[in-house]
Amino acid sequence: MTRTRLPCLALGLVAAVQLSLAQAQPSTVVYKCPGNVYTSDRELNAKQAEVKGCKVIESAPITVIQGRAPSGARPASAAAGNSAAAGNSAARPPEARVDPGAQRARDSDSRRILESELRREEERLAEMRKEYNNGEPERQGNERNYQKYLDRVAEMKSSIARKESDIAAIKRELAKLPS
């Protein structure tokens, strides 16, 4: 009999804790405002909601997913006529700007790192191609089964393709850096 009481007792305890937590949290009033905008009583009080024409939504759980503005949309400051933010990139405050000399140093460091990485990757690709031997690498001792050999050859071919795409990506990054 104690085996059946223990799960029931635990279940009752969990339910009691959840009930006390639910009562401890104040309920939030959700308003639906014109333009399909939803807000809570944390952002507006009842009088402000009434002035804006918002209606109370009762007992409906709402999930809000933050989305991005469409890519063609202009920022609100640009729409309002703010010429500083009207361009493609937002204007930065003076303290956030980087000194041109420091930026050149960063760019040269980036270029040096990318060039060394490119050299290393090209050397590794040359080794891989030599080992691949135009699709006919030497068989290893554990490859008595011909399928194992074919699997290794296919893996080598895909590794070479990945390495070539990595090298192309590094070259694209180098091309983006100023000379």
Please give the chain's pLDDT, 179 residues, in tens. 555 665 656 566 556 556 555 554 456 677 778 877 777 767 778 788 888 888 877 765 666 667 776 666 555 555 455 444 444 456 777 777 888 888 999 999 999 999 999 999 999 999 999 999 998 999 888 888 999 999 999 999 999 999 999 999 999 999 999 87
Question: Is 166 a domain residue?
Answer: yes
Same domain assignment for residues 160 and 108 = yes
Question: Is 83 a domain residue?
Answer: no
Full residue range of the structural domain in which residue 38 is found: 26-61
Rounded Cα distance, 39 and 64, in Å: 10
Instruction: Specify burial of residue 166 (Cβ count, 10 A radius: 0-12, 13-18, 19+).
Output: middle
- Integer angstrom CA distances of residue 123 from 13, 118, 130, 153: 66, 9, 11, 20
Rounded Cα distance, 177 and 173, in Å: 7
Alpha-helical (H) ranges within the chain are: 2-24, 46-52, 76-79, 100-132, 146-176
- Number of structural domains (the chain) is 2
Same domain assignment for residues 115 and 169 = yes
Question: Is 148 a domain residue?
Answer: yes
pLDDT of residue 23: 53
Question: Is 139 a domain residue?
Answer: yes
Which tokens belong to 174?
A: 């180098």
Question: Is 73 a domain residue?
Answer: no
Question: Is 1 a domain residue?
Answer: no
pLDDT of residue 4: 60
